[in-house]
Chain A
């Protein structure tokens, strides 16, 4: 099972959990699984065409999937996947 780190703004979908364990072979499958267990979360991560929103970064380990294979980036059992807003947000 990969560990998915959930940022604060998405924890309303995970009942406040900071981490969720998910078995999936790719980031795409992982987001599908995340959506089935936590309905509504996909729309905040992906746009209506299914692409990762421009202001959302997904990391497998330390690597941004934009520099790997995007949504087809493989996910292994021990991997840590982080969903991170592109900004720190909140001050202005």
Chain B
């Protein structure tokens, strides 16, 4: 992939003429298992979003291009691969974890592909399609109290494991080093290669913190000057699914604030509005956490531009928007 030259003019329309040439040069992947398609995602320029910050480019990792449809494929695959290597996962053991969605889909996809039985605990107000897509992979679902949110699912998963510890492998993505290592070895390496090392800022939201921890560690090792910025909802009551408001949550044990150079506190509406804009202006129909990430990246770009500095800001498009078609718009009745 080549990186477009920095320009002080507004971004030109995408180079459609080179599409056929690009496709002719690209080698289609040919793999023995779907899990080998995890990672190595494309990096896309957000040329319309960053046109008002000339000199500062915004690029985004297309994590929705992972085979399970989200960034969580990376952590799930690495967690399972490492557990198999250690012998924590073996015949007779089920993997159980708490998840409100993408991690569950990722575990389910990897589990089905590798023949590992999966049980997921999720709050019962997770949308029906979320339940159905994981069940389709043969995953067993158990439900926790919707009023207790994702922390309630964590507590419930722990209780199930404690009742019969010999039956379960509980990876606990919040405390599992394989989670952030997937990004240290994958995401960060790819970003450095895809930007020819020109990245100046990395911005992404905090859920388990695996993406920001792993990516930031390697980026800082490469160049301590690269600014790594975490993003959180600005309040405990928020609508940025997948993101955590750390001050009011169980703090993920893998989260180490000292790895970060800064934190952005983002209102839900700013993230939701950017999701809409990414679809209409860039042709990227992505979820709200992706919108929040790009909104955060744009804040950074504007700040740099305002100071007369140039830069290359990278963020993450976590998943597609069609994962969120329910329940508000399409279902009158909620199943609790």
Contacts and interface: CB of A to CB of B under 8 A. Distances in A.
Interface of A: 5-10, 12, 18, 44-45, 47, 53-57, 59, 62, 64, 66-67, 82, 84-92
A52 B101 CA distance: 25
A92 B239 contact: no
Given A5-B147, A54-B239, 6 more contacts: A62-B336, A66-B328, A89-B150, A90-B100, A91-B103, A92-B72
Interface string B146-183: 11111111000000000000000000010000000000
A69 B152 CA distance: 31
Contact of B244 (A45, A62, A86, A92): A92
Contact of B207 (A8, A64, A91): A91
Interface of B: 71-72, 98-103, 122-123, 125-126, 146-153, 173, 205-208, 235-245, 248-249, 268-269, 272, 289, 318, 328, 332-334, 336
Given A62-B333, A67-B332, A91 B242 contact: yes
Nearest to B236: A9
A91 B238 contact: no
B147 A87 contact: no
Contacts of B242: 89-92
A76 B113 CA distance: 52
Contacts of A67: 332
B149 A85 contact: yes
A28 to B, nearest CB: 19
What 5 pairs between A and B have smallest CB-CB spacing? A55-B239, A92-B207, A92-B242, A90-B150, A9-B236
B150 A88 contact: yes
Contact of B241 (A9, A53, A92): A92
Given A53-B239, A55-B238, A92-B318, A8 B244 contact: no
Nearest to A82: B147
